[in-house]
Amino acid sequence: MAETIRAQVLVVGGGPGGYVAAIRAGELGLDTVLVDAGGLGGNCLMRGCIPSKALIHAADKFHAIAGAVGGDALGIALDAPPRLDLGRTIAWKDGIVARLNAGIAGLLARAKVRVIGGWATFSDAKTCTVGDTRITAEHVVLAAGSEPVALPSLPFGGAVISSTEALALTGLPRRLAVVGAGYIGLELGTAFRKLGSEVTVIETAERILPRYDAALSGPVRRWLDRAGVTLHTGAAVTGFDADGNLRVAPKAGEPIALAADRVLVTVGRRPALHGWGFETMAVDLAGGFVRVDDQCRTTMRNVWAIGDLTGEPMLAHRASAQGIMVAEIIAGARRRFAPAAIPAICFTEPEIVTIGLSPDEARDAGIDAIVSIVPLSANGRALTLEAGDDGGFVRVVAQRDTGRVVGVQAVGRQIAELAGEFAHALEMGAVLDDVAGTIHPHPSLGEAFGEAAQRGLARGVHG
């Protein structure tokens, strides 16, 4: 006999938006049900952010050890190259995922959220079935996330893989072709190159990381060149034949056939809107994404959407912030989603952090901006991390008349750890004097942020 559940809040999707929304709703005393089919933690934990960063860390460690064969600049020497057991690496990564997954389950239980595993199929905006269970709710929060986009000429299957399959490989591909030089493609391509794969990257734009300005992507490009990664920019992929050859058509020049054991397609992600009855909900779309207002309300009363379903930036921390807000609004709070800016990190070699406006974006917005830059070659901590010669820097963009910081960009080793400080400065409406007057610990990479603010005020002391 089918079971019927009635709840105040039904959350669909257990990713960083969905599970956070469900926990907050439960904490606020709302009778909440979470339906999830892909594993608590969603794409970020199960198939994306956390697995990829684990693989990147393992690759960094292996690369550093391999660089000590015969001796390195630090005086560390190995007599033989290290060996890699990728299966064991993946098992270690899976252990991290399992630990965090169990932690989320515990948090949901503590918040008295009922978790139902399975695929939700909606018959109308407030009713779905999961197996033999029928669920109706006063409020529905859509947090189904996103999925990788395939190319018509490269459908997923066999040797053609998405980031999901790349993070589950137990054997190292000898020749890996990466289609798409955005942050996902370059993060994984860099990791596999450090592990020992021959890596070729194909990008239709004229340069890598086309969403970042050339100053930020330049150090990454130089590392790829030094590491022996082959780059084909301004080129399109037309297919992959049965002989294992990837067919590439440059905008200028003759077609190329590239031998590849695996082809990793990373040309973007799209909202996961199919297969669960979204079309029955009478919810409007905007540009292929769910249309929401500044409270994440959709066009259907008491149906909310958060995270990747609602468009760019498709970032876990954005989804979590939206999820908390929605739960609090349902509970009676007055909230709206209006962050000053949302930080983004690219875990390449070196790492990139961006938040707020770049110099070009400030100019296009009609802002008369001060742009101040501090190279990490002048930062003692960067030098001790062997990161002084990779072209890294911290750049601050501020309004000239008020000194208000409107953007921060940085590139360098371990620079991702400064993303929170950059975000805090923008969210609090900091001016250059606030950042310059903050005593940053020495030695630290954060000193470069303070020094950049000092330079913006024309009183830098280190150059």
Assess whether 442 carries a catalytic annotation.
yes
Tokens describing residue 65: 């050890």
Catalytic residue among 57, 63, 317, 442: 442
From edge to edge, which strands make up the β-sheet containing 235-240? 235-240, 245-250, 256-259
What lies within 8 Å, CB to CB, of 94 at 6+ separation is: none
Contact 199, 192 (CB under 8 A): yes
Q: SS3 for the chain, per residue?
A: CCEEEEEEEEEECCCCCHHHHHHHHHHCCCCEEEEECCCCCHHHHHHCHHHHHHHHHHHHHHHHHHCCECCCCCCCCECCCCCCCHHHHHHHHHHHHHHHHHHHHHHHHHCCCEEEECCCEEEECCEEEECCEEEEEEEEEECCCEEECCECCECCECCEECHHHHCCCCCCCCEEEEECCCHHHHHHHHHHHHHCCEEEEEECCCCCCCCCCHHHHHHHHHHHHHHCCEEEECEEEEEECCCCEEEEEECCCCCEEEECCEEEECCCEEECCCCCCHHHCCCCEECCEECCCCCCECCCCCEEECHHHHCCCCCHHHHHHHHHHHHHHHCCCCCCCCCCCCCEEECCCCEEEEEECCHHHHHHCCCCEEEEEEEHHHCHHHHHCCCCCCCCEEEEEEECCCCEEEEEEEEECCHHHHHHHHHHHHHCCCEHHHHHCCCCCCCCCCHHHHHHHHHHCCCCCCC
Point out the residues that are catalytic.
Answer: 442
